[in-house]
Amino acid sequence: MNYDVIIIGAGNGGLSAAATLAMKGKKLLVLERHNIPGGCGTSFRRGRFEFEVALHQLNAMGSEDSPGALRKLFREYGIENQIDWIEINSLFKVNLPNDMSVVLPANREESEAVLIEKFPEEKQAILDYFKVVYQLSKERAGFTQYMSNPVKNQKEDITKMFPSFFKYGLKTTQEVLNDFFDSTELQLCLSPYWCFMGMSPDRFPFLILAGCTYSYIEEKPYYLRGGSQVMSQALTEVIRKNDGEIKFNCGVKRIILENNKAVGVIDDNGAEYKCKKIISNISPINTYYNLLDSSEIPIQAKEYLKGYTIGISAFSLFIGLDCTPSEVGFTDSFNLIYDDLDVNEEFKYSHTLLPEFDPLVATCYTIDDPKVSPPGTTVVSAGVLKYGDPWMELSPEKYYDTKYKAADIVLNRLETRFPGIRDHIEEIEVATPLTYMRYLDHPGGAIYGYEQDVKSSTLFLPKQEFIENLSFASGWVNSCGFAPNYLYGNGVAMKVLREV
């Protein structure tokens, strides 16, 4: 069969690209190896609990009256009102090793006030920092727009047009925090979004931290009833209602090239499809090395991808409790727990197997929406970021022993912060980097694509393409996260529309 566009993988970017193309009347086919859409944007059930796989907080939503970019896109798709959106009133709760905890509200003035109360000696630095965060985020948007359509014969120095962008655009989070603040505790209260990108503050681009902070404060963090699977299913229905075709349990075995042009695919069942354009929603690594013969992989692509490193995965516990959140001490939905103030040093343990010292993330969305779990119960997800390599080296016997030993360590650490949590466990599921590798088919079980440090993200994302008619739309070539990839997939689709 012939199609205008074939999309490999029904992750976030693939689904939004497919929805956009289908609504524009293009004949398209989405091939997905899993039996459900979404990639990381999925959920699963154990007993009477439904567990969210990946979504912590959705950004770029805004309000109905002042919609953010993602709400506008979902409005175009006609799915905004099909989803029960839950606005989260706090950004996060940071739990420090000295029994100090700080909750930042999703409001600039209130956040400034909370921090000034906790750290009065750094009042001016706090106010100056938020000014920079806001200015940098606005300048980044202006710089991006300017570069997409630069003004000819521009006389003004571009560095003076966007001074904050050129001052901070290539700095790490740690560098900027050190410039502003003396208190390590205060630095940790402002930088939790490093864990959303899987990169320690001494490598995490400040440009991304500033963007996250600005977006979540101004457009508010959101969750949604039913979890991210609801979005994935809604987008799937948009595709189908507009005559797009999706095949589940059916991945792509090979991309067909003619004169170094992508002209079609062969699926896992041996069926062949021709098309004018292919969008890969899987990693460039798997696309080039698994779907092409070795002789077909462009030398330039091999050299180009050498500059990027496979990113981090996770060790996660999905826990259903037979009690309310307050009974075990949960008061906020997103908790970052430090047992040491040196987060950069602690992050080095992500290369080891056991989660004894790593910063710990625990989410509890029953706080924001009691309907997330059955009445009188609580759903908790907790875990640490871990690289996949040590887990891949284990024998099957050692794998299972290590998996449950690691789970016991996380539970013990949770017990110190949330006393009684062990006694109330009704259901528990454990995921390792190998679990994510199996379900996502990502190299190393990476949940954020390539590592996103200053040298390989923001201005240096791996977006270059080497085969005609083959494009990419995923967190492997874009800033990772739900909203960024929905929006990026739509952007790729708009580019394809101009080409097809």
Instruction: Please spell the DSSP secondary structure of 147-199, one letter per residue.
Output: HHSPPTT--S-HHHHSHHHHHHTT-BHHHHHHHH-S-HHHHHHH-TTHHHHT-
The token pair at 113 is 């006030």
Residues 395 and 489 in one domain: no
| Alpha carbon distances (Å) from 338 to 96, 177, 247, 347 | 5, 18, 44, 11
**How confident is the model at residue 144, as a pLDDT?**
83
What's the mean pLDDT in 447-475?
94
What's the angle, vertex CA 280, arms to CA 275 and CA 286, rounded to 5? Answer: 120
Q: Could you tell me which of 237, 233, 213, 218 has the C-alpha nearest to residue 67? A: 218
Residue ending a domain, among 187, 203, 219, is 219
Boundaries of domain holding 480:
2-44+56-85+226-308+452-499
For residue 337, pLDDT over 60 is answered with yes
What's the mean pLDDT in 119-125?
98
Total number of domains constituting the chain: 3
Name the residue with tokens 């059916």. Answer: 250
Residue ending a domain, among 185, 219, 253, is 219
| CATH code of residue 344 | 3.30.519
Residues 362 and 345 in one domain: yes
The answer as to whether 116 is a domain residue is yes
Percent of the chain predicted with pLDDT > 90: 93
Kindly tell me the sign of the dihedral angle through the C-alpha atoms of 189, 191, 197, 199.
Answer: negative
What's the mean pLDDT in 19-36?
97
- Name the β-bridge partners of 335: 93, 362
**How confident is the model at residue 152, as a pLDDT?**
59
For residue 202, pLDDT over 90 is answered with yes
The alpha carbons of the chain give a radius of gyration, in whole angstroms, of 23
For residue 153, pLDDT over 60 is answered with no
Residue ending a domain, among 417, 440, 463, is 440
Residues 316 and 435 in one domain: yes
For residue 159, pLDDT over 80 is answered with yes
The token pair at 345 is 């040093």
**How confident is the model at residue 483, as a pLDDT?**
96
pLDDT band at residue 98 under the 50/70/90 scheme: confident
**How confident is the model at residue 79, as a pLDDT?**
98
Task: Decide which of 300 and 146 is more confident.
Answer: 300
Residues 207 and 239 in one domain: no
Kindly tell me the sign of the dihedral angle through the C-alpha atoms of 463, 467, 468, 473.
Answer: negative
Whole-number average pLDDT of the chain: 95
Residues 262 and 210 in one domain: no
What's the angle, vertex CA 451, arms to CA 445 and CA 455, rounded to 5? Answer: 165
Q: Which backbone phi and psi does 349 adopt, to 5 degrees?
A: -70, -10
Residues 165 and 235 in one domain: no
pLDDT band at residue 150 under the 50/70/90 scheme: low
The answer as to whether 95 is a domain residue is no
Contact call for residues 299 and 319 (beta carbons, < 8 A) = no
The answer as to whether 360 is a domain residue is yes
For residue 348, pLDDT over 80 is answered with yes
Residues 119 and 156 in one domain: yes
The token pair at 411 is 């539970």
pLDDT band at residue 417 under the 50/70/90 scheme: very high
Task: Decide which of 379 and 226 is more confident.
Answer: 379
**How confident is the model at residue 149, as a pLDDT?**
76
For residue 154, pLDDT over 70 is answered with no
The tens digit of pLDDT for each residue in 203-239 reads: 999 999 999 999 999 999 999 998 999 999 999 999 9
Q: Could you tell me which of 191, 197, 184 has the C-alpha nearest to residue 350? A: 197
Q: Which backbone phi and psi does 254 adopt, to 5 degrees?
A: -160, 145
Predicted TM-score (pTM) of this structure: 0.95
User: What is the spatial distance between Cα 9 and Cα 446, in angstroms, rounded to a whole number?
Assistant: 16
For residue 151, pLDDT over 70 is answered with no
The answer as to whether 50 is a domain residue is no
The answer as to whether 166 is a domain residue is yes
For residue 86, pLDDT over 60 is answered with yes
Q: Which of 81-85, 156-160, 197-201, 268-272 has the lowest mean pLDDT?
A: 156-160
Residues 418 and 495 in one domain: no
Residues 319 and 429 in one domain: yes
**How confident is the model at residue 119, as a pLDDT?**
98
What per-residue string of b and e applies to 33-58 under the rule 16 or more CB within 10 Å gives b? bbebbbbbbbbeeeeebbbbbbbbbb
The tens digit of pLDDT for each residue in 251-309 reads: 999 999 999 999 999 999 999 999 999 999 999 999 999 999 999 999 999 999 999 99
| Alpha carbon distances (Å) from 138 to 64, 109, 299 | 22, 18, 39
The tens digit of pLDDT for each residue in 165-196 reads: 999 999 999 999 999 999 999 999 999 999 99
Q: Could you tell me which of 140, 57, 142, 63 has the C-alpha nearest to residue 92? A: 57
